[in-house]
Amino acid sequence: MNLRAAIEALREAGVASPDHDARELLAHLTGSSRLLLADPTPEQAAEFGRLIARRAAREPLQHLTGMAYFRHVELRVGPGVFVPRPETELLAGWAIDRARELEAPVVVDLCTGSGAVAAAVRDEAPHAEVHAVELSADAFAYAESNLTGVDLRLGDAFVEFDDLVGAVDIVVCNPPYVPLEAWESVAVEARDHDPHLALFSGDDGLDAIRVLAARAARLLKPGGVIGVEHADAQGESAPAVFAAQGSWEEVRDHRDLNDRPRFLTARRTLRGSPTGE
């Protein structure tokens, strides 16, 4: 299969970025740049056709290449782990900026998945002490291969790190937040290939965020901060969870590059003790 036919096949299949994906797959096979593609061998051309067919069936591009790019790091990904999205790079950037403001920050990445956010923080704020946790054994295996210099644990994000209670400066989390009722609206690549543990969170999508608001309040030092990704329809409801929990101030929401609500931030109050866990 040639490149032009591959692009057309992906376009007809409804793939959102047919030109990019076809070029990425051909570059992956030939070991060349996507912008300066090498001619494939006959064997590579045949394999290219097979990969295009799989992508046309909406298998994620990153599963076909085995890699995802997140800020300045390259991550190993595949079946069993949530593929990091470009939107989450803004949340990671916020955490990195906050870490750079501190001399020796302690950063905890809850629901780390592939380890994308933890890896980015470690890469761009190397002075930070970074901890991460993942519940899924399949996803944990990917995080293990992607993270160095990070305290990575296999466990429940909402009960782990009792040893860090009251000692954390920054909590960052990309939790599951898709409402169960939104099943049909989820992109095929995510719905059929990302682990549902990383996607769905109760009828309104806020179940994990409610637990997170209480748990993070215990982990953080007074004055510590949290950043949490959410669905674009949760720009009011997700911050409201933190505003109502009683341990947070400076609760605000942030928009992504497409001007959609994307993540909230809040500061652990300096007074009182955390409640509601």
pLDDT in tens, 128-183: 999 999 999 999 999 999 999 999 999 999 999 999 999 999 999 999 876 666 55
30-63 pLDDT, tens digit per residue, is 988 877 888 889 999 999 999 999 999 999 999 9
Q: What percent of the chain is predicted at pLDDT more than 90?
A: 79
Which residues make up each annotated binding site for S-adenosyl-L-methionine? 134, 174
Q: CA–CA distance from 11 to each of 20, 28, 55, 121, 208 (Å)? A: 11, 20, 11, 36, 36
Q: Which domains does the chain have, with CATH numbers?
A: 3-57 (no CATH), 81-268 (3.40.50.150)
CA distance 66 to 60: 10
CA distance 84 to 89: 9
At 186 the pLDDT is 57
Which residues make up each annotated binding site for substrate? 174-177
CA distance 193 to 54: 12
Q: CA–CA distance from 233 to each of 122, 154, 189, 220, 229 (Å)? A: 30, 31, 20, 27, 12
Which residues make up each annotated binding site? 134, 174-177
The answer to whether 248 and 214 are in contact (CB under 8 A) is: no
204-235 pLDDT, tens digit per residue, is 889 899 999 999 999 999 999 999 999 888 99
